[in-house]
């Protein structure tokens, strides 16, 4: 393991300079604002980071597009809606089964996950418009499958040629009567990243689907789990734990979700937000329209899971529930702790870097803490300032020209269905006890002073960071995986989990400990040099007797 | 059941594609560009395309795939992407220092009508392209053809780098088509055994099947050089493997630089490899070394040994036209029956060629270009097959219908190691046969009742 000897203790400011040194001046100025040296909570006025701004052309970003954020992330995991990509074939093809949002077909047996539906636009559709073809495709999908819902996703050329996907959707919805058809203007060039697609998906699903099932729900302790996509079965594990505690999950947005879950989301009494970035819009809108408060939770990490469960218990304030939650935690934790203790003996003091989409670069630090590992550097592809600095900075965020055209919905309290879940006195009592609603502190406060936080990390910076800081583990996505591993540094994918998982909840923590133990302890990293490369000097020749 | 909503009854679809047997142009152009030494592929469009294409190639090769993008915003999408591309070129040469940037386009930049040539000329004029470095490109509109078309367009753009010259350098251009890096290596090995001095383009060997050594080279040692491409007009001739992937570039060199070309099928299987070797022999003007006849003999030997298990077996196969044509011929040469053949790539000639190759079959072959896997699955539901061949997406059909499944083609996302073992040439033929027989016999072993479970087969 000679390559990993840490000889120099770098000063964070020097590292930042090193990262910027090679850039053309304009690029260096811009990147300097997206790379910050964390001051953690010690500072009165922590430094601002620039985030959610346009990508520098040619920089080799990790980012994707609005379509990916809308169709790929938010709507893709819903099993009983037929998702039709309106565009040339690529977008539909690449988002076909490539995110590991698992689904179970359930008792009704509806599951369109293994399918890819596309209008496969051709040059004549670009020239003459694709509305007729889209209309016919929706009809064919309806005739073939009779689904509850059909969603249409626009790709780059659709906006340019002026196809009115919403008008086509409306026409077909009215024609069918028993199938909800609605569309998303999630052209890839909108906004600056996947993030715009999240927002667009939130808006449309809220407008066209949420709240349409009025049938009351009689269960106890009803929550929505927002921003959990069931990657590698995370949502299954969280549901297992919730169920064991007696908590009812009305709707997950949107891992293993169904049309009806979205439609019934207004019946919940609390929204629990996992991925703040992708779903905070729906959380806010559910509160405004129906009076459902929301809290930030985190089910990544055993301690974080316990903490989140207790937070839900405290909200409902019912002793029966609180006792049950404590009983479940007491039952689940011993196994987790035993394995953590064993793994920790090999992972203690090791270092990691995390560069993942818009939430996991934060959440997963809990798991590394539990293993005694330190996060040297982290950042998001497409987080906004509030994901770094906390929601308190939201009033100061200026929406720039590149994101201005992403619609903000004007939502008002529903005349018939708005119902405050708690009296103002109850809310105040909870808050006085330290309870925080609608609150997210962001990534920065949870990281050490002097750690390096980087927004929209690129290929060059990733390589440079690894070279300078020599982490024991690098976490990012498929595009980064193999270049990092060529450097002899183990790489863990925190989007796809490298086909592992679940990593959420109690069982997930165990899976993750074991996986990291395997990765940092693997023998393969000692094989990089052949014997003749380690000792290239030929000192004697072999003499056969 | 995974594909539980696929009905047996077939209704004609005109507008809805379900489970495509193709993807879009730029990924092919990106793959081709990786076969140039010191080259960074560049996607001129919004960045989602580039992320998707890099990811899919990485999932297939389990190797780093670098590419840059113009990262269009809404403004650029309306007013044109010239500023983005010029800025990108400047950033790429400063930060990543490639020798070459090979630009391709997407449906976005094609729809708005960005003119690559004009932008590159402007970048040159503005001094954004350092001395001795190359920027070139190919238009790759995603709404025309498929990933195969994109590959072909980028390969043609490589040929267009050829400089006029009256000199001949005695080399032969080999355009291998969209095959794996190990296949390109194998083709080069055969050429060198025969003694043909070649320029292969593109050549991804050494790029997408490289070693782990503790060092990351964004630009590995493999790939055709720009110098070699510039000299491709001086070659004695061009052998293009595959009508869809390679012929356009070869024909362009022929018409522009008088480099005569021969378009052959990709050398999958016995007969296509025979034709390839025979052409190499004529080109080199030599007799074929015994070592090659020996390899061929081994393949014939294996066919004779395995024939009883292959004879009359029905196969459904999907993928890309050039690969399918040779593979269908190979399957027929071992007396297997490719009864369903589907490609998502358009081309009437494809259907005609497959019909010819399967004319002597005891069954009628159902063949469709511009088809999809949903249709193929419906055919299978109506009349089952003994073997399914195609990319990883086939595993859903294979599991539902309980069919032995050979992963072959692009992309293979759920198995590893395929980037190291060729399927072209006689050696590749041996490997394919071994894999097919393994699948059929594993199935027999799984299904045999105790009394007919056998040790020796």
Alpha carbon distance B142, B23 (integer Å):
9
Alpha carbon distance A483, A499 (integer Å):
19
Whole-number pLDDT of residue A47: 83
Please check the confidence at residue A6 and state whether its pLDDT lies above 60. Answer: no
Which residue positions in chain B have pLDDT lower than 50? none
Q: Check residue A104 and give left, alpha or beta (phi > 0: left; psi -120 to 50: alpha).
A: beta
Please check the confidence at residue A8 and state whether its pLDDT lies above 60. Answer: no
CB A69 within 8 A of CB A194: yes
Other beta carbons less than 10 A from residue B212's beta carbon:
15
In Å, how far from its chain's centre is CA B229?
A: 20
Please identify which of the residues A68, A268, A306, A509 carries the catalytic annotation: A68
CB A355 within 8 A of CB A378: yes
Dump pLDDT digits (tens) for B121-170.
999 999 999 999 999 999 999 999 999 999 999 999 999 999 999 999 99
pLDDT band at A544 (very low <50, low <70, confident <90, very high): confident
Please check the confidence at residue A115 and state whether its pLDDT lies above 50. Answer: yes
Whole-number pLDDT of residue A40: 64
Whole-number pLDDT of residue A4: 45
Told to judge if A65 belongs to the known catalytic residues of this protein, a careful annotator would answer yes
Alpha carbon distance A412, A422 (integer Å):
18
Other beta carbons less than 10 A from residue B120's beta carbon:
21
Whole-number pLDDT of residue A545: 66
Q: Check residue B183 and give left, alpha or beta (phi > 0: left; psi -120 to 50: alpha).
A: alpha
Whole-number pLDDT of residue A197: 98
- CA B47 to chain A, closest CA, distance in angstroms equals 6
Q: List CB contacts of B23: < 8 A, sequence separation 6 or more.
A: A89, A90, A93, A94, B56, B146, B147, B344
CB B294 within 8 A of CB B193: no
Tokens of A282: 């729906």
C-alpha angle A308-A314-A317 in degrees, rounded to nearest 5: 150
Please check the confidence at residue A43 and state whether its pLDDT lies above 70. Answer: no
Of B3, B71, B213, the CB nearest to A55: B71
Average pLDDT, chain A: 96
Please check the confidence at residue A221 and state whether its pLDDT lies above 70. Answer: yes
DSSP calls for B16-42: -EESBS---HHHHHHHHHTTBTTEEEE
CB B188 within 8 A of CB A503: no
- Percentage of chain A with pLDDT > 90? 94
ipTM: 0.98
Dump pLDDT digits (tens) for A135-152.
999 999 999 999 999 999
The reply to whether omega before B23 is within 30° of 0 (cis) is no
In chain A, residues with a C-beta closer than 8 Å to the C-beta of B25 are 90
CB B194 within 8 A of CB B292: yes
Told to judge if A68 belongs to the known catalytic residues of this protein, a careful annotator would answer yes
Return the residue of A nearest to B83 by Cα: A57
Alpha carbon distance A164, A129 (integer Å):
10
Residue A218 CA: distances (Å) to CA of A221, A268, A408: 10, 10, 33
Q: Does B94 touch chain A (CB under 8 A)?
A: yes
Told to judge if A272 belongs to the known catalytic residues of this protein, a careful annotator would answer no
Alpha carbon distance B44, B69 (integer Å):
6
For chain B, counts of helices (H) and of strands (E): 17, 14
- CA A473 to chain B, closest CA, distance in angstroms equals 14
Q: Does B421 touch chain A (CB under 8 A)?
A: no
Please check the confidence at residue A44 and state whether its pLDDT lies above 50. Answer: yes
Whole-number pLDDT of residue A541: 78
- CA A254 to chain B, closest CA, distance in angstroms equals 20
CB A402 within 8 A of CB A55: no
pLDDT band at A42 (very low <50, low <70, confident <90, very high): low
Max Cα–Cα distance, chain A, nearest Å: 99
Other beta carbons less than 10 A from residue A351's beta carbon:
18
Rounding to the nearest 10 degrees, give the CA dihedral for residues B290, B292, B293, B294: 80
Please check the confidence at residue A7 and state whether its pLDDT lies above 50. Answer: no
Told to judge if A167 belongs to the known catalytic residues of this protein, a careful annotator would answer no
Return the residue of A nearest to B60 by Cα: A478
Whole-number pLDDT of residue B87: 98
Whole-number pLDDT of residue A538: 77
Helix (H), strand (E) at residue A365 = helix A360-370
Residues B84, A57: C-beta atoms closer than 8 Å? yes
CB B300 within 8 A of CB B270: yes
Whole-number pLDDT of residue A2: 39
Whole-number pLDDT of residue A543: 78
Please check the confidence at residue A3 and state whether its pLDDT lies above 60. Answer: no
């Amino acid at each position: 393991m000679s390559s990993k000897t840490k000889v120099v203790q770098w000063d964070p400011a020097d590292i930042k300079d090193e990262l910027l040194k090679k850039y053309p001046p304009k690029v260096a100025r811009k990147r300097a604002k997206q790379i910050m040296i964390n001051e953690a909570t010690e500072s009165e006025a922590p430094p601002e980071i620039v985030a959610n701004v346009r990508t520098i052309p040619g920089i080799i970003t990790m980012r994707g597009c609005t379509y990916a954020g809308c169709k790929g992330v938010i709507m893709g995991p819903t099993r009983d809606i037929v998702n039709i990509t309106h565009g040339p074939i690529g977008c539909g093809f690449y988002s076909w089964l490539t995110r590991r949002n698992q689904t179970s077909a359930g008792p009704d047996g509806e599951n369109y996950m293994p399918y890819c539906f596309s209008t496969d636009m051709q040059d004549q559709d670009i020239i003459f418009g694709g509305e007729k073809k889209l209309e016919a495709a929706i009809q064919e999908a309806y005739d073939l499958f009779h689904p509850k819902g059909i969603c249409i996703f626009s790709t780059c050329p659709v906006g340019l040629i002026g196809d009115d996907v919403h008008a086509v959707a409306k026409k077909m919805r009215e024609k069918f009567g028993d199938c909800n058809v609605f569309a998303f203007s999630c052209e890839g060039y909108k906004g600056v990243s996947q993030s715009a697609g999240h927002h667009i998906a939130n808006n449309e699903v809220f407008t066209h689907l949420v709240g349409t099932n009025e049938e009351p729900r009689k269960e106890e302790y009803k929550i929505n789990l927002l921003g959990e996509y069931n990657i590698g079965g995370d949502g299954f594990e969280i549901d297992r734990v919730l169920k064991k505690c007696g908590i009812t999950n009305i709707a997950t947005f949107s891992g293993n979700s169904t049309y009806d879950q979205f439609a019934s989301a207004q019946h919940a009494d609390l929204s629990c937000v996992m991925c703040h970035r992708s779903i905070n819009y729906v959380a806010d809108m559910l509160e405004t329209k129906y009076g459902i408060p929301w809290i930030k939770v985190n089910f990544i990490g055993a301690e974080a899971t316990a903490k989140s469960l207790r937070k839900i218990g405290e909200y409902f304030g019912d002793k029966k529930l609180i006792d049950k939650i404590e009983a479940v935690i007491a039952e689940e934790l011993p196994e987790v702790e035993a394995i953590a203790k064993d793994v920790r003996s090999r992972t203690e003091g090791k270092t990691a870097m995390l560069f993942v989409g818009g939430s996991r670069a934060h959440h997963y630090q809990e798991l590394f803490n539990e293993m005694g590992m330190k996060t040297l550097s982290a950042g998001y592809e497409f987080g906004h300032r509030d994901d770094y600095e906390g929601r308190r900075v939201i009033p100061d965020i200026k929406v720039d020209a590149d994101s201005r055209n992403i619609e903000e919905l004007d939502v008002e309290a529903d005349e018939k269905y708005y119902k405050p879940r708690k009296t103002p006195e109850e809310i105040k009592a909870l808050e006085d006890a330290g309870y925080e609603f609608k609150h997210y502190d962001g990534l920065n406060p949870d990281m050490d002073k002097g750690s390096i936080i980087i927004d929209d990390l690129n290929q060059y910076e990733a390589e440079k960071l690894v070279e300078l800081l020599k982490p024991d583990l690098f976490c990012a996505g498929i595009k980064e995986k193999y270049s990092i591993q060529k450097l002899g540094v183990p790489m863990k994918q925190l989007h796809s989990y490298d086909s592992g998982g679940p990593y959420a909840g109690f069982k997930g923590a165990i899976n993750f400990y074991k996986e990291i133990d395997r990765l940092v302890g693997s023998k393969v990293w000692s094989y990089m040099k052949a014997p003749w490369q380690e000792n290239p000097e030929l000192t004697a020749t072999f003499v056969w007797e | 059941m995974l594909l539980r909503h696929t009905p047996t009854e077939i209704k004609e679809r005109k507008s809805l594609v379900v489970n495509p047997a193709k993807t879009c142009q730029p990924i092919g152009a990106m793959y081709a560009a990786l076969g140039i030494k010191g080259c960074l592929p560049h996607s001129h469009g919004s960045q989602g395309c580039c992320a998707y294409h890099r990811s899919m190639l990485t999932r297939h090769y389990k190797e780093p795939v670098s590419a840059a993008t113009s990262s269009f915003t809404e403004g650029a999408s309306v007013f044109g992407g010239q500023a983005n591309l010029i800025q990108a070129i400047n950033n790429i040469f400063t930060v990543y220092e490639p020798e070459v940037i090979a630009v391709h386009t997407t449906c976005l930049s094609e729809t708005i009508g960005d003119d690559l040539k004009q932008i590159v000329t402007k970048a040159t004029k503005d001094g954004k392209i350092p001395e001795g470095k190359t920027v070139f490109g190919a238009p790759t509109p995603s709404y025309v053809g498929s990933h195969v078309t994109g590959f072909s367009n980028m390969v043609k753009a490589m040929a267009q780098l050829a400089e006029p010259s009256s000199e001949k350098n005695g080399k032969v251009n080999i355009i291998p088509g969209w095959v794996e890096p190990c296949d390109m290596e194998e083709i080069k090995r055969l050429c060198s055994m025969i003694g043909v001095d070649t320029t292969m383009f593109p050549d991804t060997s050494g790029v997408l099947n490289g070693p782990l050594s503790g060092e990351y080279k964004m630009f590995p040692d493999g790939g055709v050089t720009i110098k070699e491409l510039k000299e491709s007009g001086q070659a004695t001739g061009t052998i293009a493997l595959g009508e869809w992937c390679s012929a356009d570039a070869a024909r362009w060199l022929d018409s522009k630089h008088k480099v005569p070309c021969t378009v052959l099928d990709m050398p999958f299987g016995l007969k296509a490899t025979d034709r390839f070797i025979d052409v190499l022999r004529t080109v080199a003007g030599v007799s074929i070394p015994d070592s090659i006849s020996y390899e061929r003999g081994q393949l014939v030997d294996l066919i004779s040994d395995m024939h009883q298990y292959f004879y009359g077996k029905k196969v459904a196969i999907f993928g890309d036209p050039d690969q399918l044509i040779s593979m269908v011929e190979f399957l027929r040469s071992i007396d297997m029956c490719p009864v369903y053949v589907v490609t998502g790539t358009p081309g009437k000639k494809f259907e005609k060629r497959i019909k010819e190759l399967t004319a002597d079959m005891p069954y009628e072959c159902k063949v469709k270009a511009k088809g999809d896997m949903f249709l193929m699955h419906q055919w299978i539901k109506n009349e089952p097959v003994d073997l399914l061949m195609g990319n990883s997406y086939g595993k859903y059909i294979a599991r539902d219908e309980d069919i032995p499944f050979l992963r072959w083609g692009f992309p293979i996302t759920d198995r590893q190691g395929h980037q190291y073992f060729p399927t072209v040439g006689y050696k590749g033929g041996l490997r394919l046969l071994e894999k097919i027989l393994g699948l059929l016999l594993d199935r027999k072993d799984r299904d045999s009742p105790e009394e007919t479970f056998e040790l020796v087969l």
